Structure 1
Amino acid sequence: MSFLVLVLVLWVEKFSALRQRLQRDGFFLGELARLERRGNVQPWWQLAVLVLAPVALLVLLLHVLEPVAYGLLALPVHLLVLIYSLGRGDAKAALGPLRDAWHRGDEQAALHVAERDLGMQADDAPSLLVKVQGYLLWHAYQSFFAVIFWYFLLGPGAALAYRLLVLCSEYSGQPALKARAEQLRHIMDWLPVRVLTLSFALVGNFVAVMRIMLHELLYWRISAALLVTRVGRAADDIPEQEDSQLGLARLDSLWELLLRSAVLWYAAFALWTVLL
């Protein structure tokens, strides 16, 4: 059923607006703010309420539904949870105004647009370009690849836990809670980001990726965002310094790299499903 749900998610993404209607975080963020107002609550207890409790309720619900009607009642629950667990926003659409400014040759406007729309600051156009490429790679990873990895491996509960940890780490105003959420997120990022970077080696520049991964594969402290950016740029043969217009075109080639990696993952998921 997991592979069927993954295929249905692609169909919903392409032909439906269900994702936009379903991904409403108001209730969760309200509970996060309420717990933070109670300053005497321990961060681990807050995470237990915000993350562990919803995941436990979901697992219990699926345990009840899966034996009924050969699991057909559990299928929509899987689908809805996975759609909710995907990332927020559209990275390619968010980069539209920035690309327009760059195509006009107005690099100063591009710097302002990046700060306004993406919260991204840079001293000059080349450094901004590197950050934008990293933004695209990181957004694709945490929005899609990490979620479907944990869903296929451990089910919808793991996918939901990942998204709730992301929301806690991004929206928490309490430093202790934010730090604990980021620690747990780093743990959940460690394996899928390395699987994705190895996928880059298979669909991109294998030698360049392996040169980086020989040093970083087992390194615990490197962040997932930094790793996926470095390896993604290497897989696409992007030099450290590049003309702005050529670097902008690299966004399309990076997107194609991500699409090839997604196809590779789905092929692996399908093969695993058939063999088992």
Structure 2
Amino acid sequence: MIFLAFIIAFTVRQLWGSQEWLHRDGWWLDWQRRAAGFELGPWLQLLLTVGLPVLLAALVLDLLRPFLFGLLWIIAAVLLLLYAFGRGDFHALMARYRDYCERGNGEGAWLFAREELGVEVATDNDPERPLFDLHQQVQVSLLYDGFQRWFAVVFFFFLLGPAAALGYRLLQLYRETNREGPVLRLLLVLDWVPARLLAATFVLTGDFVRSRDALVAMVGDASVAAGQLLQSVGVAAAAPVTRESPLLQAAEDVDALSGLLRRSGVAWVLAAALFAILG
């Protein structure tokens, strides 16, 4: 049933986009504000804010399983998975940054990275260095964004079920308003396995020789954040064409990384199908 729910949700997302009508987080933000009024410790606050909705979702799913041969469970699982996917149009974000770079609009790319992606890079006396550092950070941000929007959600959906996928999305929403504290440490742990699986997928769907060495060098380092790992392996796997202009090179990099993410997404869908057949 879980594979059928995944295929339905995946098809809906591919045909009709990110389903913004479902991505209404006001109910959870209200609950987060109410829970904050209890003045609990950081970990208890996180557990209450995220754990209670996940527990309720798991209980409802368990109650629905026997009815109509599991049809109600499948419908609920599809809705939870669609809700757990990332907000907005990720590929549109990549395309906008790419367009700024391709047109040679460095200032536009800088403002977009700062305002839309939250990337901050300090300037210095070297005019080329800030642009290089900016693009490096944009790559980290975009690859982690793509990872947490879809790949990590799918990983936890298959591993622990729809309620776990919901829990991962709520943790990411919690991170947006709590940049410090236990949520970052918890996400570092939760991202460890799926980020390395995605990096391994990059190796298989990209330049194997170059990216294999990058993966081997970082795969066992627990201190490496998911975004940094994905950037290091992803850039090596994407192997973009070299361009003379730094901005044109940035646009070429984004094109190559976008293609790499799409191929990796297809690989994960095929792996999910194989998982369902063997399971």
After TM superposition, is the score higher than 0.5? yes
Which of 168, 172, 176 is residue 166 of structure 1 equivalent to? 172
1:55 aligned partner: 54
Q: Which has the higher mean CA deviation after the structures are superposed, 120-129 or 219-228? A: 120-129
1:245 aligned partner: 248
Structure 1 letter corresponding to 2:29:
L
Structure 2 letter corresponding to 1:92:
H
Q: Write the deviation string for residues 53-74 of structure 1: whole angstroms up to 9, x where unpaired.
A: 1111111111111112211011
Instruction: Say if 2:150 is the partner of 1:144.
Output: yes
* Aligned positions of 1:177-196 closer than 5 A: 178-196=180-198
Identify if the C-alpha distance between structure 1 residues 240 and 166 changes in structure 2 by more than 3 Å, giving closer, same or farther. Answer: farther
Q: Which has the higher mean CA deviation after the structures are superposed, 190-199 or 130-139? A: 130-139
* Aligned positions of 1:1-276 closer than 5 A: 1-16=1-16, 19-38=19-38, 40-122=39-121, 123=123, 124-172=130-178, 178-238=180-240, 243-276=246-279
Q: Which has the higher mean CA deviation after the structures are superposed, 94-103 or 109-118? A: 94-103
What's the offset of the Cα at 1:193? 0.4
Q: Which has the higher mean CA deviation after the structures are superposed, 137-146 or 240-249? A: 240-249
What's the offset of the Cα at 1:18? 6.6
Give the conservation status (yes or no) of the 8 Å contact 1:150–1:158. yes
What's the offset of the Cα at 1:113? 2.9
Q: Percent same amino acid among aligned pairs? A: 35
Give the conservation status (yes or no) of the 8 Å contact 1:236–1:253. yes
Q: Which has the higher mean CA deviation after the structures are superposed, 23-32 or 104-113? A: 104-113
Identify if the C-alpha distance between structure 1 residues 200 and 100 changes in structure 2 by more than 3 Å, giving closer, same or farther. Answer: closer
Structure 2 letter corresponding to 1:223:
A
Structure 2 letter corresponding to 1:129:
H
Give the conservation status (yes or no) of the 8 Å contact 1:129–1:248. no
- Partners of 2:186 and 2:24 in 1: how far apart? 23
Identify if the C-alpha distance between structure 1 residues 271 and 121 changes in structure 2 by more than 3 Å, giving closer, same or farther. Answer: same
Question: Which TM-score applies when normalising by structure 1?
Answer: 0.90
- Partners of 2:109 and 2:262 in 1: how far apart? 26
Structure 2 letter corresponding to 1:4:
L
Give the conservation status (yes or no) of the 8 Å contact 1:66–1:74. yes
- Partners of 1:103 and 1:265 in 2: how far apart? 30
Give the conservation status (yes or no) of the 8 Å contact 1:126–1:244. no
Q: Write the deviation string for residues 17-70 of structure 1: whole angstroms up to 9, x where unpaired.
A: 6720111111212222333344x3112221222111111111111111111221
Q: Which has the higher mean CA deviation after the structures are superposed, 4-13 or 183-192? A: 4-13
Question: Which TM-score applies when normalising by structure 2?
Answer: 0.89
Structure 2 letter corresponding to 1:80:
L
User: Number of residue pairs matched?
Assistant: 271
- Partners of 1:163 and 1:262 in 2: how far apart? 18
- SS class of match (1:89): coil
Gaps of 5+ in 2: 124-129
What's the offset of the Cα at 1:134? 2.4
Q: Write the deviation string for residues 189-245 of structure 1: whole angstroms up to 9, x where unpaired.
A: 011001101111111122222212223222211111111111111111259996321
Give the conservation status (yes or no) of the 8 Å contact 1:9–1:83. yes
Give the conservation status (yes or no) of the 8 Å contact 1:126–1:241. no
